[in-house]
């Protein structure tokens, strides 16, 4: 055997050797010869015939064990043991953590009233935890969906609402920008929906809206333009914006014409009969289309442009669609500008009236004056009523403005009346919006009372298109006004498509033939014939007929030859300021007036 360096050797003679029971390390040293002396064991290193060379076993083992190589092995061994111990500890720790998590998960599930997996007999803690987590995840997904639905869904139609739609549009426009494709937005507004509500009640109107939503959803499916949210399961390309307004979003990646096809189909679907209970109604829709990126590039701007185009579709006849163009934008900006300016002008009393005489064809004696509103804008100059009256009507500003016009007209006429114009009346244009909002009888009578103007000195001009749509209540109020002595004229007659026979049923005293007829009568036989028959019918029904827009002598002669009673037009006079009217009528005709109660309007051109 080899003895390590530095180990003390012991030599025994052959007779000294005794054998004792092997101690524990004999296991390690199996196969080695051992000698015991005084209970100390020695390991045989070399044996000769006379002696045995040994080393103390314990020393040999220690020296061998603590050699540098063995120390490293020992350290590694110690590390391995400690790792194993640690691993076992860690395993226990993990088990504990899983158990804790599971307890928490079960607590959470219980608090949410959800079924838990706590059957220890069937599953390990880990399996249970996995199952419980699965239940929680499903619950969270459902909860997210339900809350998205409750936040974003329109309660009536179950479509998404404007808010959700705008969020969806923002995402879609980002995609379109990245992938460089265009999209279109349809702004759909039902025509005459207000009448449906007014005539049949709101719950009937609600049912119509629900059916409209269903029809629009089917249009999306038909054109394969659906986009269902994976979370809420809601259709995202179709929204109810509010009231009777809906919108559809279309990706034009594959087909540029798609928006037009969809719009056409929507019009068609809405025009189909709506059957509700035992009622059948017909409605239509007007659609505006805006295209990304041509028309606008943000959701709000796109909606606004489509709204502008929809508005154009409405004014161009309803039941049609229009694609937005910048020219429409200009119009809408002008609209908003004038609306704001008009508000200021009303507040600062910047409007004034001008008066146009209507004269008898026989002697040019003044029949009445038409009060016409004027607006001299500080920057724009004179803005025509043809431009601002429709805006005032649409925004209901006509209520405030019309109130002032009526009061000022009555006040002016009352002054003229008191100055001698006892046979002259003032005629005031009344808009359909005013008829709907006021009790026209009360409103007019109040103005007369305020200004002291006799009822017979007041005429109301209501256009044919307004009169034929007027409700029974309005017609009754007008009748009552006539009963008081107020005259009612049907204005712009011939443009409202009413049949001549309806004239007999309307509460009117005067027919004002639209200037269109006078302008055409000398060249177009048909217009000439219509004028003839209106004049004849007027005579038969005891109505006075007035021809508007007489600019030339030939027109005056023609009108006169037809038996039309009175004329209005530039030939006689342009609308004049109250000061000029005062000069011309009161100062120049004072004697004539005192006899007749009216004046003669001096016409510049010889008749
Ligand atoms: P309207 O009620 O038909 O008024 C007659 C219009 O014809 C006036 O235009 C008048 O200036 C114009 N006119 C008179 N004679 C001739 C003529 O010989 N040739 C031509 N081409 N035109 C003639 P105006 O003042 O510009 O008013 C336009 C329209 O604006 C009015 O048409 C009326 O619908 C509306 N409007 C004017 N003032 C008022 C108002 O005070 N209240 C309401 N609600 N509407 C008004
Ligand atoms: Ca008029
Ligand atoms: Ca007119």
Residue range 120-133, pLDDT digits in tens: 566 788 888 888 88
Q: With CA atoms as reference, report the closest residue to 308 among 288, 284, 281.
A: 288
In the chain, list all ranges with CATH 3.30.70.270. Answer: 153-324
Predicted confidence (pLDDT) at residue 138 exceeds the cutoff of 60: yes
Closest ligand to residue 496's CA: 3
Name the CATH superfamily for 352-596.
Answer: EAL domain (3.20.20.450)
By most ligand atoms within 8 Å of CB, the mutation choice from 355, 389, 427, 428 for ligand 1 is 389
Residue 548: which residues within 8 A CB-CB, separation 6 or more? Answer: 492, 512, 513, 514, 515, 518, 568, 569
Distance between Cα 602 and ligand 1 center (Å): 21
Residue 206 half-sphere exposure, CB side, CA atoms within 13 Å?
8
CA angle 403, 407, 413 (to 5 degrees): 145
Higher pLDDT, 51 or 451: 451
199-249 tens-digit pLDDT:
888 999 999 999 999 999 999 999 999 999 988 899 999 999 999 999 999
399-455 tens-digit pLDDT:
999 999 999 999 999 999 999 999 999 999 999 999 999 899 999 999 999 999 999
Q: How far is CA 60 from CA 26, 201, 240, in A?
A: 13, 112, 96
Domain range 153-324, its CATH number among 3.40.50.300, 3.40.720.10, 1.10.940.10, 3.30.70.270: 3.30.70.270
Using CA atoms, how far apart are residues 37 and 34, in angstroms rounded to an integer?
Answer: 10
Tokens of 225: 């333009």
Q: How far is CA 560 from CA 33, 218, 340, 358, 525, in A?
A: 158, 62, 45, 14, 17
Beta-bridged to residue 459, according to DSSP, are 427, 487
Check residue 391 and give its pLDDT: 94
Closest ligand to residue 569's CA: 1
Distance between Cα 458 and ligand 2 center (Å): 13
In the chain, list all ranges with CATH 3.20.20.450. Answer: 352-596
Using CA atoms, how far apart are residues 145 and 148, in angstroms rounded to an integer?
Answer: 5
The runs of H, that is alpha helices, within 180-285 are 193-200, 202-222, 258-271
140-171 tens-digit pLDDT:
888 777 777 777 899 999 999 999 999 999 99
The runs of H, that is alpha helices, within 452-565 are 464-469, 472-484, 515-521, 525-541, 553-561
Please state whether the predicted TM-score (pTM) of the whole model is above 0.75.
no
Distance between Cα 322 and ligand 3 center (Å): 30
185 contacts 292 by C-beta, under 8 angstroms = yes
User: For residue 14, what pLDDT band results from cuts at 50, 70 and 90?
Assistant: low
Distance between Cα 558 and ligand 3 center (Å): 19
Check residue 277 and give its pLDDT: 87
Check residue 54 and give its pLDDT: 82
Residue 130 half-sphere exposure, CB side, CA atoms within 13 Å?
5
Mean pLDDT across 528-536: 93
Ligand 1 cavity residues, CB under 6 Å: 356, 371-373, 384-386, 389, 405, 429, 431, 461, 491-492, 515, 549-551, 568-570, 575
Residues with CB under 5 A from ligand 2 (ion): 429, 461, 491
Higher pLDDT, 86 or 550: 550
In 3-state terms, what secondary structure has residue 112?
Answer: coil
pLDDT, the chain, mean = 89
Beta-bridged to residue 51, according to DSSP, are 13
Residue 390: which residues within 8 A CB-CB, separation 6 or more? Answer: none
Distance between Cα 259 and ligand 1 center (Å): 41
């Amino acid at each position: 055997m080899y003895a390590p360096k530095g180990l003390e050797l012991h030599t025994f003679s052959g007779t000294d050797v005794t054998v004792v029971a092997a101690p524990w390390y004999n296991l390690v040293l199996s196969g080695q010869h051992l000698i015991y002396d005084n209970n100390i064991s020695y390991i045989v290193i070399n044996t000769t015939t006379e002696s045995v060379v040994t080393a103390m076993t314990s020393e040999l083992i220690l020296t061998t064990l603590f050699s540098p190589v063995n120390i490293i092995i020992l350290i590694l061994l110690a590390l391995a043991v400690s790792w194993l111990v640690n691993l076992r500890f860690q395993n226990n720790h993990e088990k504990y953590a899983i158990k804790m998590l599971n307890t928490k998960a079960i607590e959470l599930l219980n608090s949410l009233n959800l079924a838990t997996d706590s059957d220890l007999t069937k599953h390990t803690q880990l399996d249970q935890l996995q199952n419980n987590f699965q239940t929680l995840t499903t619950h969270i997904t459902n909860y997210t969906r339900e809350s998205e639905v409750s936040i974003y869904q329109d309660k009536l139609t179950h479509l998404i609402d404007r808010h959700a739609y705008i969020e969806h549009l923002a995402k879609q426009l980002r995609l379109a920008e990245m992938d460089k494709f265009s999209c279109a937005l349809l702004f759909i507004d039902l025509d005459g929906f207000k009448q449906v509500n007014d005539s049949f009640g709101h719950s009937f109107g609600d049912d119509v809206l629900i059916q409209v939503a269903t029809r629009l959803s089917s249009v999306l499916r038909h054109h394969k333009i659906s986009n269902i949210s994976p979370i809420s399961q809601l259709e995202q390309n179709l929204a109810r914006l509010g009231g009777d307004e809906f919108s559809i979003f279309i990706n034009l990646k594959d087909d540029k014409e798609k928006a037009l096809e969809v719009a056409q189909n929507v019009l068609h679907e809405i025009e189909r009969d709506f059957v509700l209970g035992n009622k059948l109604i017909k409605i239509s829709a007007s659609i505006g289309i805006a295209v990304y990126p041509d028309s606008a590039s943000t959701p709000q701007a796109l909606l606004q442009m489509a709204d502008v185009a929809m508005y154009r579709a409405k004014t161009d006849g309803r039941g049609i669609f229009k694609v937005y163009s910048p020219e429409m934008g200009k119009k809408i900006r002008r609209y908003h500008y004038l609306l704001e300016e008009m508000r200021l002008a009303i507040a600062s009393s910047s409007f004034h009236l001008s008066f146009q005489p209507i004269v008898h064809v026989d002697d040019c004696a003044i029949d009445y004056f038409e009060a016409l509103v004027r607006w001299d804008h500080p920057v724009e100059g004179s803005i025509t009523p043809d431009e601002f009256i429709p805006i005032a009507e649409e925004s209901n500003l006509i209520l405030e403005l019309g109130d002032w016009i009526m009061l000022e007209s009555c006040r002016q006429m009352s002054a003229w009346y008191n100055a001698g114009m006892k046979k002259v009346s003032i005629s005031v244009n009344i808009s359909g919006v005013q008829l709907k909002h006021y009790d026209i009888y009360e409103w007019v009578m109040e103005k007369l009372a305020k200004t002291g103007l006799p009822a017979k000195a007041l005429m109301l001009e209501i256009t044919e298109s307004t009169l034929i749509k007027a409700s029974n209540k309005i017609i009754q109020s007008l009748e009552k006004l006539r009963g008081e002595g107020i005259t009612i004229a049907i204005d712009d007659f011939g443009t409202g498509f009413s049949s001549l026979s309806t004239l007999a049923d309307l509460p009117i005293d005067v027919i004002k033939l639209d200037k269109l007829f006078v302008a055409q009568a000398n060249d177009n036989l048909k217009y000439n014939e219509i004028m003839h028959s209106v004049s004849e019918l007027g005579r038969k029904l005891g109505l006075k007929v007035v021809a508007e827009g007489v600019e030339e002598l030939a027109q005056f002669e023609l009108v006169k030859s037809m038996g039309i009673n009175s004329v209005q037009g530039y030939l006689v006079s342009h609308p004049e300021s109250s000061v000029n009217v005062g000069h011309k009528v009161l100062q120049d005709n004072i004697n004539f007036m005192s006899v007749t109660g009216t004046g003669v309007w001096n016409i510049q051109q010889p008749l």
